[in-house]
Amino acid sequence: MKSIPFHSDSEWKIPIKQGLYDPQNEHEACGVGFIVAIDGKKSHKILRDAQTLSERMKHRGACACDDDTGDGAGVLSSIPHDLYVREM
């Protein structure tokens, strides 16, 4: 899959202060992203979308300088109970 560069400074403007959001808190590079199925339907597409998102991020806050460690990025998903019981 081809990576698409992401340039947040040219494509995204910080929203104005409203509710609990305050743009003065936008001073760190760390963050958490969420991809969800709003309709609640289970689909492998969610995992594919998360993989695509991760692949498109040129820099995710750290780098693996060897072949044995990662950069800390990951995907958290639920495991169906029946699958868990069967595999464990």
Residue 42, domain extent? 33-61
Task: Specify the pLDDT at position 85.
Answer: 94
Q: If you count DSSP H runs as helices and E runs as strands, how many of each does the chain have, helices first?
A: 3, 0
Task: Specify the pLDDT at position 80.
Answer: 86
Give the N- to C-terminal CA distance of the chain in Å, as an integer: 32
Q: Per the domain annotation, does 86 fall within a domain?
A: no
Q: Per the domain annotation, does 74 fall within a domain?
A: no
Q: Per the domain annotation, does 54 fall within a domain?
A: yes
Q: Per the domain annotation, does 40 fall within a domain?
A: yes
Q: Per the domain annotation, does 23 fall within a domain?
A: no
Task: Specify the pLDDT at position 52.
Answer: 82
Q: Per the domain annotation, does 8 fall within a domain?
A: no
Helix, strand, coil percentages (3-state) for the chain, rounded to 5, are 30, 0, 70
Active site residues: 30
Reported pTM: 0.46
Tally of domains in the chain: 1
Q: Per the domain annotation, does 1 fall within a domain?
A: no
